[in-house]
Structure 1
Amino acid sequence: MEHHGGQHYEYLSTDTFPHSSVQMQRPKSSASSCVSIKSDCSMDPPPKLSGHTDPGFRLDHPESSCESMKSDCSMDPQRNLSGHTDLGFRLSHCNITAEGCAALASALRSNSQLRVLDLTENNIGDKSLTLLSDGLKDPHCKLEKLWLFDCYITAEGCAALTSALRSNSHLRELNLSENEIGDKGLMLLSDGLKDHCKLEKLMLRYCDITAEGCAALASALRSNSHLRELDLTGNKIGGQGLTLLSDGLEDSHCKLEKLWLYDCYITAEGCAALASALRSNSHLRELNLSKNNIGDKGLKLLSDGQKDPQCKLEKLNLSYCNITAEGCAALTSALRSNSHLREMNLSGNKIGGAGLMLLSDGLKDPHCKLEKLWLFYCDITAEGCAALASALRSNSYLRVLVLSRNNLEHASVKHLSALKDNPHSKLETLFY
């Protein structure tokens, strides 16, 4: 979603909702649509370039000058809630070189209104990042969000950026995804997180990070109470790395709320430590473990962690995790005792009719407050749908249900469709 002139523009992608051929059976109001559901489907991994949520100006041409950033910009700047003018510049795909970064650094030193800077997919490199980091250190710089997605940055550039993190107390969001910073770069950044850094959101997707780098990151989590969102998607974290991160999550100083570990080579081995963290961490609200081979054993461990009253997890994504009906028994038990979980994605697992019947038993429990459930491509049968329909007659919370790509005939879901006339059901949207 992007803001321009006070208006909201939303970018939708088929990566957000995997197939556009889904059928919306029945909205409760005319305002409901497939688009509105797509924007809600936050449990699935977003595209590499997620929609921006910040006010800003896009400069699509390399010849666009950075000089205007040094003064009050006349490009219809946005005003924040306090009435002050905030500027944001999107300079993605602009062929920016070291020369341009020198001008940007100068602008950062003299412009205290610039809040957002997006340099996505420019050949910035380590040398240019050093120049930018010098600008970030200046007391006049009030930049809050910096995107350096796919900018040819390595561990060498992270040294300068780490120095900037230590002296800049304004930066809140940093995106270094798709840069080969590796474990050495993560170690440097982690040192920066320990100091006066107020960073709240850190994105490190596909950065060649392994378990070795997670040790330093876990140490930072123990001493940093500001970081709220951490995205490590596409790194070879593994069970050992997850165990290290979980130790950091258990620390009372850690206030992390969102953790993305999509496609991180995690197996059941690391889930034991993560389950322990869920028992002691009351801050974590969103956990994404998609496309990891945790299996039924890993799910059982996680489900035990969810049962603890300390666990306040609201969103759980376990799509494509090699889960079967066997694991659903433990998950059902967790649904009966956890009143916090609101969204769950089990897409791409072989749940089958037996698994859905077990989950349906959990949905019947009055403690279960689940509102959105994704069961896309789960080998579900008509028999499972009947059990689910029975559960939803007594469940007054579930609003969104996705059963797409399960080869269900219309007759198989007729009982679910009929829930639109049931006063006890809150089901608004059904995909099948």
Structure 2
Amino acid sequence: MMTVLSMSDEVEQLVLRNTDLTDDLLLSLAGSLKSSLSEVTLLNLNLNLIGPYGAHILLDVLRVKPQVKGLHLFGNKLRDHGVLTLLNGIAELQEQTARAAAAIQQAMLFPSEHNMLPQLPSGWSSFRLFTLLELDIGGNGLSSDGVKVLASYMRSHSYLQYLGLAQTSGADLAAWKELFDSLKGNSSLTQIILDENNLGDPGVRLLADMLKENMSLQQVDLDKNCISDVGGNDIMGALLCRTQFPLRHLSLQENNISAGLMSRIQEEVKYK
């Protein structure tokens, strides 16, 4: 893959799923990726061995390749510390490029010898506005602290349209409440993956409360979350509040919701 990156300018998606990619190997790959002429927009590194140090390496890549819009890291070993590093770095880079864009616009509208164009970040040959649209950090051993960090990011810095957070069962109910509360006013996120998180009926009630206020979400996955008819009824209530903004996809496989209630729930989902 490093050879391909060094020779090709046509790699748009870099997919290295389940390849035993460690931080050391990622560091070598990052060098090739940063120097490549390819306009890579998606990094799919799911099911590897990337740890907290790998977050620093990925941020270094994003600084040089701000055209990257998707970062899929499901099933790695980032843990809370790695996610904190990654999200803080992404937020900083997004803010940095937004300030640069505003300064460039100002300089173009009002040119003068005192209105200098901002210095571009190291490695950039031209200006790039960086906005991450897809992020999957499920299966990375996050605890409540990690989910709360994510909640803060979603509240203040997120442009995400897709968020993967499956297999994050180490978070408690208070952390999930923070995350779902942070999504109530979110207007960009359209898809969230929450499979295998042991949310149970109490967690799903918090999710349902969010769905009553959030009008941007269209796809929600809740497989294997120990949801009974109690939680199912809360979901039903949320769907009835969203008749103008219905979900387009809702997966509730391998829960404990009765067939009758499940049928009524699916009737409220307007599949495309």
Deviation at 1:298, TM superposition (A): 3.5
3-state SS in 2 of match to 1:307: coil
Equivalent positions of 1:22-421 (< 5 A) are: 132=3, 136-138=5-7, 141-142=8-9, 144=10, 171-190=11-30, 198-221=39-62, 224-251=65-92, 252=94, 253=97, 254-293=130-169, 294-309=171-186, 311-366=187-242, 368-381=245-258, 385=261, 389=264, 398-400=269-271
Matched letter for residue 243 of structure 1: L
Whole-Å separation in 2 of the counterparts to 1:276 and 1:295:
16
Whole-Å separation in 1 of the counterparts to 2:172 and 2:248:
24
Whole-Å separation in 2 of the counterparts to 1:376 and 1:279:
29
Deviates most, 179-188 or 299-308: 179-188
Q: Is the 1:222–1:248 Cα contact (8 Å) retained in structure 2? A: no
Shift in alpha-carbon separation, 1:221–1:279, aligned structure 2, 3 A: farther
Whole-Å separation in 1 of the counterparts to 2:133 and 2:33:
16
Q: Is the 2:6–2:32 Cα contact (8 Å) retained in structure 1? A: no
In our comparison, the structure showing a higher alpha carbon Rg is 1
Shift in alpha-carbon separation, 1:203–1:362, aligned structure 2, 3 A: same
Whole-Å separation in 2 of the counterparts to 1:333 and 1:227:
33
Whole-Å separation in 1 of the counterparts to 2:84 and 2:158:
18
3-state SS in 1 of match to 2:216: coil
Whole-Å separation in 1 of the counterparts to 2:185 and 2:59:
23
Shift in alpha-carbon separation, 1:221–1:348, aligned structure 2, 3 A: same
Matched letter for residue 48 of structure 2: C
Matched letter for residue 290 of structure 1: A
Q: Is the 2:40–2:65 Cα contact (8 Å) retained in structure 1? A: no
Q: Which runs of 5+ in 2 are unaligned?
A: 98-129
**Count of aligned positions:** 234
Matched letter for residue 228 of structure 1: K
CA offsets 1:106-151 (integer angstroms, 9 cap, x no match): xxxxxxxxxxxxxxxxxxxxxxx66x35xx545xx44x2xxxxxxx
Whole-Å separation in 2 of the counterparts to 1:347 and 1:189:
34
Deviation at 1:295, TM superposition (A): 4.7
Whole-Å separation in 2 of the counterparts to 1:355 and 1:249:
35
Q: Is the 1:363–1:392 Cα contact (8 Å) retained in structure 2? A: no
What is the percentage of aligned positions where both structures have the same residue?
A: 25
Matched letter for residue 17 of structure 2: S
Matched letter for residue 327 of structure 1: G
CA offsets 1:364-396 (integer angstroms, 9 cap, x no match): 21464311111111111368x18x83x788x5x
CA offsets 1:231-271 (integer angstroms, 9 cap, x no match): 21221121222222221332324422222234222222211
Q: Is the 2:74–2:164 Cα contact (8 Å) retained in structure 1? A: no
CA RMSD of aligned residues (A): 2.9
Whole-Å separation in 2 of the counterparts to 1:175 and 1:313:
23
Which structure would you say has the larger RCO, counting Cα contacts within 8 Å and 6 or more residues apart? 2
